[in-house]
Amino acid sequence: MKTTRLLIIGGSDAGILAALRAREMDPGLEITLVASDAYPNYSICGLPFFLGGEVADWKSLAHRTREDIERENIRLLLEHEVIAIEPGTRRVEIREPGGRTRMTSYDRLILATGAVSARPDIPGLDSPGVFFLRWMRDGFALHEYLEERRPRSALIVGGGYIGMEMAEAFRERGMVATLVESSPSVLKNLEPELGAVLREELERHRVRVIPGTRVTALENFGDGLSAAGSNGFEANADLVLVAAGSRPRIDLAETGGIRLGPTGAVRVDRRMRTNLPDVYAAGDCAETWHRLLERPVWLPLGSTSHRQGRVAGENAAGGDREYAGTLGTQVVRVFNLVAARTGLIQREAEEAGFEARTIPFNAWDHKAYYPGAGTLHMRLTGDEAGRRLLGAQIVGPIGAQVAKRIDILASALFHGMRMDELEDLDLSYTPPLSSPFDPIQMAAQHWMKGKS
């Protein structure tokens, strides 16, 4: 009986999880994974903490070692690059480390090529001292610069998750940090009032924040760089980090006849199948099904990539599993605060056609008489018509269990709960950690008061 050959392109979260799940499903499957670098299954999300010194050894960022993966009888072709897909003959062209190319056949294929850093249209983006942070090699290049040059100042272009985490990393190194964001507030996927809370935290730790400003030019100036932007912005820095988001890496998909969706990412169904027979896609290169919106979106998150990878691997090995969908649940630490969201914010809910209402609500994270109580800044978004929970945002101090609480709300969203049903949840209580009604239940009660 002929052995089925599964070829996976991409060695980050989705690709590795697909390989491991396929192996669980079919011990006899011939699995080959092609990765363009030498670092399969490393936590890219951990790079800011390595660069800031909180994680001492970059090797500890590995979810699994190469030996762990190969122990599962998965063949790794590291520092190999797939340069073309021929779906008609079920072959791919691979460039080896020395530059020689060869053809390899497959029976089933999983595309897990991830995303690439967005490159805004800024003259001077390729100047020495300008960095991006997407892959391990990006982290190594920046780390080497930090260790050898000992820069004293950094300019960060972009106020999203990476931008804020790197602002903290640079401050941990004693550097002067300036963060420039084109939107009116940092972390624009939160309501602006919560972005203002985060800006205050950044500035409290002496990060200069310049919102509503677009960097328009970079130029080498002496040993560093000079930057110019809108609203008369000018600054000098020893290095520049561009953290302006990402876009799906779809070059192979385009040339291989794999259909793209309206988001610009690979179009897949809920079984992670593309338009081509026996070709799947997962992770940051692919669209994802949104559980609330009930349509494909592009949400490049590590958690999403893990789940999509397992679904793709299971189905490529003969299974029949559907991806349950994403809610865009996210969390980030900003110095002594934690910010999290799940579901839709007011603007997104309105654009989706919901009769949405968002209420602000602040509460102590635990009983105020117990020492150390901190403020939770919350926003709950619900549908006026059916009282259905649509989304939630929380900003609060480390130790206030922000991540736990957003996960409760994400679970409620996943199961389509109404606002009044949140009150019925049997949640844990002790004075040092919560209240008899948890703050998220208080917020739901406050939202319900607006109903007549």
Q: Using one digit for the tens of pLDDT, what is the confidence trace for 132-172?
A: 999 999 999 999 999 999 999 999 999 999 999 999 999 99
Q: 198-202 long-range CB contacts below 8 Å, 24 or more apart?
A: 198/164, 198/334, 198/337, 198/339, 198/395, 201/334, 201/335, 201/336, 201/337, 202/164, 202/167, 202/334, 202/335
Residue 125 makes CB contacts below 8 A (sequence gap 6+) with 119, 218, 242
Residue 236 makes CB contacts below 8 A (sequence gap 6+) with 153, 221, 224, 225, 226, 227
d(CA 82, CA 94): 4
pLDDT tens per residue, range 334-357: 999 999 999 999 999 999 999 999
d(CA 238, CA 219): 11
Note if 285 is an active site residue: no
- How confident is the model at residue 223, as a pLDDT? 86
167-171, 218-222, 258-262: range with lowest mean pLDDT = 218-222
181: left (phi over 0), alpha (psi -120 to 50) or beta: beta
pLDDT tens per residue, range 37-94: 999 999 999 999 999 999 999 999 999 999 999 999 999 999 999 999 999 999 999 9
Structural domains in the chain, CATH included, are: 5-44+60-115+247-316 (3.50.50.60), 130-244 (3.50.50.60), 330-449 (3.50.50.60)
DSSP letters spanning 220-253: EETTEEEEEEGGG-EEEESEEEE---EEE--HHH
pLDDT tens per residue, range 107-137: 999 999 999 999 999 999 999 999 999 999 9
d(CA 155, CA 166): 10
Annotated active-site residue in 25, 38, 45, 118: 45
User: 381 in helix, strand or coil?
Assistant: strand
d(CA 218, CA 239): 11
Report CA dihedral (372, 419, 198, 245) to the nearest 10 degrees: 140
Residue 301 makes CB contacts below 8 A (sequence gap 6+) with 326, 328, 330
Average pLDDT, the chain: 96
By the 10 Å C-beta count (0-12 exposed, 13-18 middle, 19+ buried), 294 is classed as exposed
Q: 61-67 long-range CB contacts below 8 Å, 24 or more apart?
A: 61/136, 63/13, 63/16, 64/16, 64/40, 66/40
d(CA 104, CA 82): 10
Helix runs in 56-182, H state only: 66-70, 136-149, 161-172
Specify the pairing of strand 30-35 against strand 5-9. Answer: parallel
Asked whether residue 1 carries a pLDDT value surpassing 90, the answer given is: no
Q: How confident is the model at residue 2 (pLDDT cuts 50, 70, 90)?
A: confident
- Asked if residue 323 lies in contact with residue 307, where contact means CB atoms within 8 angstroms, the answer is yes
Q: Cα–Cα distances in Å, from 345 out to 327, 350, 394?
A: 11, 9, 12
Q: What is the pTM of this model?
A: 0.94
Helix runs in 126-244, H state only: 136-149, 161-172, 192-204
